Structure 1
Amino acid sequence: MQQKTKKFIFISVLITGCIITNLISTNDEAKTLPVSSLPQSAQGAVASKAAQAKTVRVQVSGAVLEQGIYDVPASCRVEEAIAAAGGMTENADSERVNLVRKVRDGMQIRVPVKKAAWTSRTQRKNDQATAGYSASSTKKVGSTRAGAGKNNSAVQSVRINSASVSELQQLPGIGPALAQRIVETRNSGRFNSADDLLRVPGIGKAKLAKLRDYVEVD
């Protein structure tokens, strides 16, 4: 009777072990189920997730042909990311870029410009700005001269040897400082002709030409 009982227990344990082993094998198979056995929609989701896990997004800017944001393999290096942006331009300073550095998600890769090229470009911009300023200044000066021409029609002859500082300021282009210098110059020697105004610091041939019709030597 005891032998039958022991035999029954052994058989029961054996059957239970087989059932447990079978269940474990089934779970392992479910875990390692190949993607190809999944529905097509599920396969696409798995493939998309796997692709995303293997790529990173980086920004490439500076001296490259096509600046922008690129998705590159997670294992690639800076050199490959720059290649994805069309490569470097002629004025790129490759010596200041670590081309073998591995990329990471969210990384910004900026390729600098050679110092000589940067200096040339900056100088060119400065020259353009200066040219624009000069043109603007010339335009303003032209407008001022035009306005002065209109006012000159009301200017009467001024006796440069006896006129006061305020009277001398009626002459075109003569301000308080220049009028004072005219008085100081004539105190050291009277003006014998309009040409003697060239002795006054600040009056040149161009200014004299504008004053000639409005001065009188007494």
Structure 2
Amino acid sequence: MQAKAKKLIFIAVLLTGCIITSLISTNDKAKTLPGGSSLLQSAQSAVTSKAAQVKTVRVQVSGAVLEPGIYDVPASCRVEEAIAAAGGLTENADSERVNLVRKVRDGMQIRVPVQKAARKSSTRGRKSQVNAGLDGSTTKKSGSNRAGAGKNNSAVQSVRINSASVSELQQLPGIGPALAQRIVETRNSGRFSSAEDLLRVPGIGKAKLAKLRDYVEVD
């Protein structure tokens, strides 16, 4: 009886050891299988890394803003944030005609119109100049004003925008140190082939280009 009992105890111990060994082996295999914890951790890391990347879109902001130009903004931002990136609205901007809460999209052009009162004032000014030119009594006076203007403008020498320094670019009308620096930075990424290429410079719109056109040379 004692021999039989010892034999049963030995078999029980042996089975227990086999079960423990099998459990350890199964746990090790689970860590290396395609569906194991190592693959899960890699997938979680990839998702976290992708979520950390901030997607941006490129938009053009023009019209009644302080610094018209092309800007890279977060894809989740709205029109009001893109306008803020362009320096904000000017005093004569008509913000009521712009949907400020609209979400931006890649390639979008955001144009801020001016107020109707400002447009009418500008139109009246142009009409007054035309009428003065048609009035014979004021023709001579207008001519003298143009002569004086020509004399003042002659003080501004032509500037070669592809080779001029920052200080030389500041001789152009309406160009300060910051805008002159942006002209140089834009030129470094691609030379200007015409005066219209100045529109690539953030802060230079069509109105400012019209003032610069007679004073720039493309070399």
Larger radius of gyration: 1
Q: TM-score range by the shorter chain?
A: 0.3 to 0.5
TM-score normalised by length of structure 2 = 0.43
Q: Which of the pair has the greater relative contact order for Cα pairs under 8 Å at 6+ separation?
A: 2
